[in-house]
Chain A
Amino acid sequence: MRYGIYVVPAAIVLTLGSLACKPPKTAEQIKAETQAAFNEGYQAFKDGKARTTNPYVSDKENPLKMQGWYDGWDKAKADQEAADKAAADAKAAADAKAAADARAAADRAAAEEAARKAAQAQKETIQTAAARVLVNIHFDFDKAEIKENDRAILQGIADFMKAFPVAKVEIAGNCDERGTNEYNLALGNKRAAAALAYLKTLGVDEARFTTISYGKEKPLCTEATEACWSQNRRDEFKLK
Chain B
Amino acid sequence: MPRFLVRTLLCALAASGLWAQQTEVVLTATSSTKLVLAMSTPKATGLDDANVAAEFTAVLKRDLDETGVMAVLQERLPADGAPTKAWKEAGAQWLLSTHLSKAVNGDLQLEASALDTAAEKGVFSRTYHANRIVPLRYLAHYLADDLVGRLTGEKGVASSRIVFVRQVSNGVKELFQVDRDGADLIQLTRHGSLTLSPTVAADGRLAYVTYKSGPPEIWGQRKKDGPHERLYPTSGAGGMLSSPVWSPDGKRLAFVQGDRRGNSDIMVLDLATGRARRLTDSNGINTEPTWNPNGNQLAFTSDREGGPQVFLMQDDGSNLRRLTGEGLYNASPTWSPNGAMVAYVSRFEGKFDLFVYKLGEGKAYQITTGVSTSESPAWSPDERHLVFTSNRFGSSQIFTTDLSGRQVVRLTELAGCQSPRWIRGR
The 9 closest A-B pairs by CB, nearest first: A193-B262, A189-B258, A190-B262, A186-B264, A186-B285, A189-B240, A185-B242, A180-B331, A182-B243
Within 8 Å by CB of A211, from B260, B263, B329, lies B260
Neighbouring A residues of B196 by C-beta, 8 Å:
181, 217
Instruction: Give complex CA distance A182, B375 in Å.
Output: 11
Which residue of A180, A191, A197, A206 is within 8 Å of B375 (Cβ)? A180
Closest to A217 in B: B194
Query: Which residues on the A side are within 8 Å of B258 (C-beta)?
Result: 185-186, 189-190, 213
* A residues 173-214 touching B (CB-CB < 8 Å): 178-183, 185-187, 189-194, 196-197, 206, 210-214
Interface size on A, as a range, is 20 to 34
Would you call B64 an interface residue if the criterion is a C-beta within 8 Å of the partner chain's C-beta atoms? no
Given contacts A185-B240, A189-B264, A213-B240, A178 and B288 within 8 Å (CB-CB)? no
Q: Which residues of A contact B (CB under 8 A)?
A: 142, 144, 178-183, 185-187, 189-194, 196-197, 206, 210-215, 217-218
CA distance A180 to B352 in the complex (A): 9
User: Interface residues, chain B, CB within 8 Å of chain A?
Assistant: 171, 173, 194, 196-197, 214-216, 240, 242-243, 256, 258-264, 285, 287-288, 301, 307-308, 329, 331-332, 345, 347, 350-352, 375-376, 418-419
Closest to A216 in B: B418
Q: Are B287 and A186 in contact (CB under 8 A)?
A: yes
| Most chain B beta-carbon neighbours within 10 Å: one of A183, A194, A210, A218 | A183
Interface of B is mostly: strand
Contact residue among A182, A192, A206, A210 (Cβ-Cβ distance under 8 Å from B242)? A182
Q: Smallest distance from the beta carbon of B397 to chain A beta carbons, Å?
A: 14
Task: With both chains docked as a complex, state the minimum distance between the C-beta of B263 and any C-beta of chain A, in angstroms.
Answer: 8
Contacting residue for B260 out of A182, A193, A217, A218, CB 8 A: A193
List 5 additional contacts besides A193-B261, A218-B194; criterion CB under 8 Å: A182-B197, A182-B288, A183-B285, A186-B240, A214-B194
B285 touches A187 (CB 8 A): yes
| Chain B nearest CB, measured from A197 CB (Å) | 8
Residues in chain B near residue A214, CB distance under 8 A: 194
Q: Is the CB of A178 within 8 A of B194?
A: no
Contact B215 A210 (CB under 8 A): yes
**Nearest-CB residue, chain B, relative to A222:** B395
In the bound complex, how far is the Cα of B264 from the Cα of A142, in angstroms? Answer: 16
Q: Are B262 and A178 in contact (CB-based, < 8 A)? A: no
> How far, in Å, is A235 (CB) from chain B's closest CB?
12
> Once the chains are docked, how many angstroms separate the CA of A192 from the CA of B260?
8
21 residue pairs of the A-B complex, CB under 8 angstroms, read: A178-B347, A181-B196, A181-B375, A181-B418, A181-B419, A182-B242, A182-B256, A185-B240, A185-B258, A186-B258, A186-B264, A186-B287, A190-B264, A191-B262, A193-B260, A194-B262, A197-B261, A212-B214, A213-B258, A214-B194, A217-B194
